Structure 1
Amino acid sequence: MVEHRIGYLIKGVQQAIRHRMDNELRHLNLSTSQYAALSALERSDQMSNAEMARACFVTPQTMQQLVKGLECEEWIERCSHPEHGRIIQTRLTASGRAVLDQAHCLVEAIEEIMIEGLSQPARERLAADLKLCLNNLIQ
Structure 2
Amino acid sequence: MPWTSLKTALLFNAVFSAVCGGVLLLLPSAVAALMGDFNPLILMVLGAGLLLFAVDVAWVATRKPISQLLAKMITTADVAWVLATPVVMMVAAPWLSFWGQVLLLDVALLVGFCALCQWRGLQRQQLA
- TM superposition score normalised by structure 2: 0.30
More strand as a share of residues? 1
Normalized against structure 1, the TM-score is what?
0.29
The structure having more radius of gyration, on CA atoms, is: 1
Answer 1 or 2: which has greater helix percent. 2
